[in-house]
Amino acid sequence: MNLSNTPVGQRPTLRQGDSGEWVRELQRELTQLTFYNGPINGTFNAATADAVRAFQRGNNLTVDGVVGRNTWSSLIFLYHPLAICGGSGLMPVPFIGVVIDPGHGGTDPGAVGNDIIEKDLNLAISMYQDRRLYELNINHYLTRKTDITLTPTERLNRIRSAYGDERGVILISNHINAGGGQGAEVIYALRSQPTFPQMILNEIRDAGQIVRRIYQRALPNDPTRDYYFLMRETTNLEPVIVEYGFLDNVADATRLRYNWQRYAEAVIKALCDYIGYPYQPPYRDEIVYTVRAGDTLFAIANRFQTTVDEIMRANNLTSTNISVGQILKIPFFSSEPPEELTTYTVIRGDTLFSIANRFNTTVEAIVQLNNLTSTALSIGQQLLIPGQAPPPRPPIVPPVRPIIRQGDRNEHVTALQTMLNNLGFSLNTDGVFGPLTAAAVRSFQTNNNLTADGIVGPATWNALASATAPPPPEQKIHIVQAGDTLFSIARSFRTTVDEIIRVNNLTSTTLSIGQQLIIPDGEPITQITHTVVRGDTLFALAQRYNTTVNDIIRVNNLTSTALSIGQQLLIPT
């Protein structure tokens, strides 16, 4: 087995006392780099440990004599000649280094919307890329690592100070867009070729983000000069501005919150491919976390910049319920593709429960995905729904029936007569296509803009099937009013509190004004009008009509129990 080509993530941690083929591979690599001159015998002895520490000291690593991923990564970079950048990639000149620029910062927040502040997400993306470039041993520099303000001149000076304004230097400026669009786009300099920006966009698309375009932009008054100062004020380096999505678009903002690491990794992969460096996927590191009081999977996922699905998958969880003291493994990244999302616009009568049923998901998943703080919805509100949109309901397909006309006698004529009777005609259902049946057919055809020939062919059969199809069941929806409680609503519709909670998937009995509730089967209570006479009280009326004082107050919007003679009251019965 050739161990020398094994990626870092698949190499074991070695220390003094270990033995085997991996120790032998370590000794070979240390020998090649002149740090070790002992026997290559597969035994991690004191001489091997001394060689490891010497290598670590010479490469600014932690000097502990333990060969972990950072030491392996440095060994791979130095030991394998093909790992030197500028090899067989598509970059037209030898690669020198890459500058990562988190856009905005400090007093300049950039765009803000949908709970995203651009400067913060730019920095998170850039710090992730910094860690990955360090793991891959690719020369790189960050213009900022904290939330500081940089003037254009200061930013340019930092960019130039890294590797100079030279060909072979790549600049990646990370940004989040705004302005009403959707998807990622990459801007490149007028002097550059579209190869690298297109590779970036392709990788971001493969990571699950919608993509728009790559483009160049010139000054309006001088088409020979770049619009963006990072491109205009540099001469030789190859700059790109990566816009990962639009934070003022609900769907984009949600994808960015949940998948920004995937998009950041996509840029790293495109860079490796472009400069001819062997790409290695990120390590599946895991953090061990102990659940505390008040924790939810959603809050934990946000804290560690991962997703609920990733945590559930890493821990083999079958529900989102967690308990204080529970130990969770927190993965920081997964190479699995993100879940597909559908954007849904709320219409009249929608509830989270009905939408979840329609899309075969759960209310909790919709609440988490959209960061909702209540179950109240508004018409026109846009929601992200996990999974693909359900297919439209299939059209009603009538049974295949033959063409029939006057004089025919069979079961199809009986079916025809039954359908016509359901539409208000009066025919004997005797299976005989006589003159009266023919007249009814011609009348139906005329009313439905069909050829009135009295012959029942496919068009007439289809029209009859549509006209006689049962209407879809209507959901009873109640919009919560001031003073409503689940108990009062249940009484009004002759149902139970438990049934209302069940069909609406409620987690508490608290209601909010304007909230829409599905009402389970049950008929609304009818009302009668009562004119108050001398001696009437709300208690006496409630007793007489077998209702409650509270129900009378509610349906009449009363603010006190005082009544006046001649006052008209609605009494629920």
Check whether residue 265 and residue 131 sit in a common domain.
Answer: yes
Residue 524 has pLDDT above 80, yes or no: no
Domain contains 155: yes
Pick from 212-221, 299-308, 350-359, 461-470: least confident:
299-308
Residue 521 confidence class, pLDDT cut points 50, 70, 90: low
Domain contains 293: yes
Average pLDDT over the chain reads 82
Domain contains 406: no
Check whether residue 112 and residue 184 sit in a common domain.
Answer: yes
pLDDT at 347: 81
- Give pLDDT tens digits for 118-127: 999 999 999 9
Identify the residue with better confidence: 555 or 315. 315
Residue 302 has pLDDT above 70, yes or no: no
CA distance 437 to 463: 16
- Give pLDDT tens digits for 22-34: 999 888 888 877 7
Check whether residue 50 and residue 15 sit in a common domain.
Answer: yes
Residue 87 has pLDDT above 50, yes or no: no
Query: pTM of the full predicted structure?
Result: 0.45
Residue 303 has pLDDT above 70, yes or no: no
Domain contains 401: no
Check whether residue 434 and residue 378 sit in a common domain.
Answer: no
Torsion, Cα 183 187 193 198, to 10 degrees, reads -10
Per-residue burial over 436-473, b = 16 or more CB atoms within 10 Å of its CB, e = otherwise: ebbebbbbbbeeeebeeebbbeeebbebbbeeeeeeee
CA distance 91 to 103: 24
pLDDT at 82: 37
Check whether residue 266 and residue 290 sit in a common domain.
Answer: no
Find the CATH number of the domain harbouring 128.
Answer: 3.40.630.40
- Give pLDDT tens digits for 371-388: 677 778 888 788 878 765
The secondary element (H helix, E strand) that includes residue 418 is helix 411-422
pLDDT at 338: 44
Average pLDDT over residues 282-290: 61
Identify the residue with better confidence: 244 or 70. 244
Domain span holding position 371: 343-386
Check whether residue 257 and residue 366 sit in a common domain.
Answer: no
Identify the residue with better confidence: 167 or 447. 167
Check whether residue 103 and residue 244 sit in a common domain.
Answer: yes
The secondary element (H helix, E strand) that includes residue 123 is helix 118-136
First to last CA, the chain: 85
- Give pLDDT tens digits for 125-152: 999 999 888 878 888 999 999 999 999 9
pLDDT at 543: 76
Pick from 74-78, 90-94, 441-445: least confident:
74-78
CA distance 218 to 395: 53
Torsion, Cα 292 293 296 299, to 10 degrees, reads -70
Find the CATH number of the domain harbouring 501.
Answer: 3.10.350.10
Residue 439 has pLDDT above 60, yes or no: yes
Percent of the chain with pLDDT over 70: 86
Identify the residue with better confidence: 469 or 459. 459
Look up residue 247 and give its two tokens: 């934070």
Domain boundary among 33, 61, 83: 83
Domain contains 399: no
Domain contains 398: no
CA distance 178 to 110: 9
Residue 405 has pLDDT above 90, yes or no: yes
Which range of 191-200, 245-254, 256-265, 331-340 scores highest in mean pLDDT? It is: 191-200
pLDDT at 8: 59
Q: What's the Rg (C-alpha) of the chain?
A: 36
Residue 336 confidence class, pLDDT cut points 50, 70, 90: very low
The secondary element (H helix, E strand) that includes residue 369 is helix 363-370
Residue 317 has pLDDT above 70, yes or no: yes
pLDDT at 437: 94
Average pLDDT over residues 48-76: 83
Average pLDDT over residues 386-399: 55
Check whether residue 262 and residue 290 sit in a common domain.
Answer: no
Half-sphere exposure of residue 186: CA atoms within 13 angstroms, side-chain side = 27
Check whether residue 61 and residue 209 sit in a common domain.
Answer: no
Strands (E), 233-323: 238-246, 286-290
Check whether residue 244 and residue 367 sit in a common domain.
Answer: no
The number of domains in the chain is 6
Domain contains 90: no
Residue 270 has pLDDT above 60, yes or no: yes
Check whether residue 270 and residue 308 sit in a common domain.
Answer: no
User: 159 phi and psi, to 5 degrees?
Assistant: -60, -45
Average pLDDT over residues 547-555: 75
Domain contains 25: yes
Residue 236 has pLDDT above 90, yes or no: yes
Domain boundary among 233, 252, 275: 275
Which range of 33-42, 386-395, 490-499 scores highest in mean pLDDT? It is: 33-42
Selection from 246, 267, 136 nearest residue 203 by Cα? 267
Find the CATH number of the domain harbouring 464.
Answer: 1.10.101.10
Check whether residue 189 and residue 55 sit in a common domain.
Answer: no
